[in-house]
Structure 1
Amino acid sequence: MSHEFRIEDQSYSRFTFERDGRVLKAFITSDHPVNGVDGPMHDELARVFTDLQRDSESDIIVLAAKGRAFCAGGDFAWFQQQIDDPASFRAIAWDAKRIVSSLLEMEKPLLCRLNGAAAGLGATIALLCDIIVADEKAVIGDPHVKVGLVAGDGGALIWPQLIGYARAKELLMTGDMLSAVEAKALGLINHAVPGDQLDAKLAEIIAKLQGNPKWAVRWTKSVTNIPLRALAAQMMDAAIGWESVSNYLGDRREAVAAMAEKRSPKLTGE
């Protein structure tokens, strides 16, 4: 039985892949100006990390993005579709959980090259990577609440583990964005460097990882993630459930409409 599996042989429309020896770079690549998440991207996010783990020609993964942003959260047309047809939101619940679990189950070291804005699910994906290196001009945050949603797709899981509950709850409940420099100071990310030094910093870290025995590195990562995997198993059903409930509410509809129309929302508390 062959153990060969190449991710390039799989069908992806929102990711492109590049190899540098045993390092595999996976780029979020879409026509959306800030790599917003739409239905096809959400589908692919639910399987790409499993395929990256299965890829037989790589030992280290770098998650990156083409364009000016990393991933600025949900696409507004997709949001409106979910509001108009709540069943479509329910239908992605299993995939939403799988995105988080597959990230945490990956054994290979996963580095995030944060070249620009990461918001909502985009921020969750970045923060569930093992080492996050950001352009110092990038911003990161989880503004689910600003579009009327519970931060259910992983934000409520990972933010408190990285920066503590008090700071995490403030940021999740306000939806405020942080600069990469602020995020590094809080311990949310590992490094914030000038944009022209981003790849050099990643190369430095990759060289350190490659200088250590591969399986020692992989399994150290795996055992370190055990509490996060257990926490995800405890939280994600409720988190996605409450997020699904919030999609039905009047203030959710108004928040999305106001953002689309670039005005202040007229919230009613409903």
Structure 2
Amino acid sequence: MMTATRPAYFTKYENLNFRRDDETGILEVRMHTNNGPFVFTGQTHREFPNAFYDISSDRDNRVVILTGTGDSWMAQIDFNSLGDVTNPREWDKTFWEGKKVLQNLLDIEVPMISAVNGPALLHTEYILTTDIILASDNATFQDMPHLNAGIVPGDGVHVLWPLVLGPSRGRYFLLTQETLTAQQAYELGVVNEVLPASRLMERAWELARQLAKQPTLTLRYTRVALTQRIKRLVNEGIGYGLAMEGITATDLRNAQQ
């Protein structure tokens, strides 16, 4: 049952909607822009590391579901809101935020379920930090923004896509900006279940309730055990990847002259 308990962070972030069943400790986190399909902005880049830290620090959370709004998971980006990425001092902020968002996602020490409700065209690395990935049958997966902007895909996709697809296929996916359908992603082992859009959230909550029957420490330490290697790989690769991305971002100024 949903209760009136609302931690302070539930209303702290403009682009995140939170609802929790306090009987089971299942937290649903829904990305949105004005309660419609989510548009990634500089503000969300700044705020998401703090949001995921707040989720990880709240020990009343026992299972977390991450999803989007409407018919897309994350398909739009406001490039102008990201600031002057050709300025190294501005990129330093992006560098820090880009590291922390993945580290803080992986520090959520309870099982995480991604419910991919439509096209996931950017920051798909968020999805790949979760333990169960469900996709609606209209979902697609692509790394859209990096090569379109002329910068290195170094924000974690360079670590996690080769991990889940294999080194050769993962590099191909990033370099060709390949679009995978939900069914292709399922066949390649990225997605665990493909569902009609009308069934997606119902199934996510079914799995979350199944997990929530376990003792709390079992939930927490299973997540810790299952993410140990992923944490190591992300920590090894994320700073280096973002540094390479930053060099190419600052070089955009020369390309524009």
Please give the TM-score of this superposition, normalised by the length of structure 2.
0.88
Structure 1 match to 2:48:
45
State the Cα distance separating 1:15 from its structure 2 match: 0.9
Give the partner amino acid of 1:116: G
Indicate the percent of aligned positions where both proteins have the same amino acid. 24
Q: 1:169 aligns with which of 168, 171, 177?
A: 171
State the Cα distance separating 1:211 from its structure 2 match: 2.5
Give the partner amino acid of 2:57: R
Structure 1 match to 2:158:
156
Question: Is this contact kept in 2: 1:147–1:252, CA < 8 A?
Answer: no
Q: 2:74 aligns with which of 71, 75, 84?
A: 71
Aligned length: 250
Give the partner amino acid of 2:136: D
Structure 2 match to 1:129:
130
Question: Is this contact kept in 2: 1:14–1:40, CA < 8 A?
Answer: no
Structure 2 CA distance for aligned equivalents of residues 33 and 8 of structure 1: 20
Structure 2 match to 1:11:
12
Which runs of structure 2 are paired with 1:225-236 in the superposition (5 Å)?
225-236=227-238
CA 151–84 in structure 1, closer or farther in 2 if over 3 Å, else same: closer
Q: 1:242 aligns with which of 244, 248, 252?
A: 244
- Structure 2: where are the runs of 5+ without partners? none
Structure 1 match to 2:182:
180
Structure 1 CA distance for aligned equivalents of residues 11 and 100 of structure 2: 18
State the Cα distance separating 1:12 from its structure 2 match: 1.1
Structure 2 match to 1:265:
none
State the Cα distance separating 1:17 from its structure 2 match: 0.9
CA 252–26 in structure 1, closer or farther in 2 if over 3 Å, else same: farther
Give the partner amino acid of 1:25: E
Q: Is structure 2 residue 160 aligned with structure 1 residue 140? A: no
Query: Which stretch of structure 1 is more off in the superposition, 68-77 or 229-238?
Result: 68-77
Question: Is this contact kept in 1: 2:86–2:250, CA < 8 A?
Answer: no
State the Cα distance separating 1:84 from its structure 2 match: 5.9
State the Cα distance separating 1:32 from its structure 2 match: 9.5
Structure 2 CA distance for aligned equivalents of residues 191 and 135 of structure 1: 8
Please give the TM-score of this superposition, normalised by the length of structure 1.
0.84
Question: Is this contact kept in 2: 1:139–1:177, CA < 8 A?
Answer: yes
- Structure 1: where are the runs of 5+ without partners? 255-269
Give the partner amino acid of 1:126: I
Q: Deviating runs (4+, > 6 A) in structure 1?
A: 251-254
Give the partner amino acid of 1:207: R
State the Cα distance separating 1:242 from its structure 2 match: 0.4
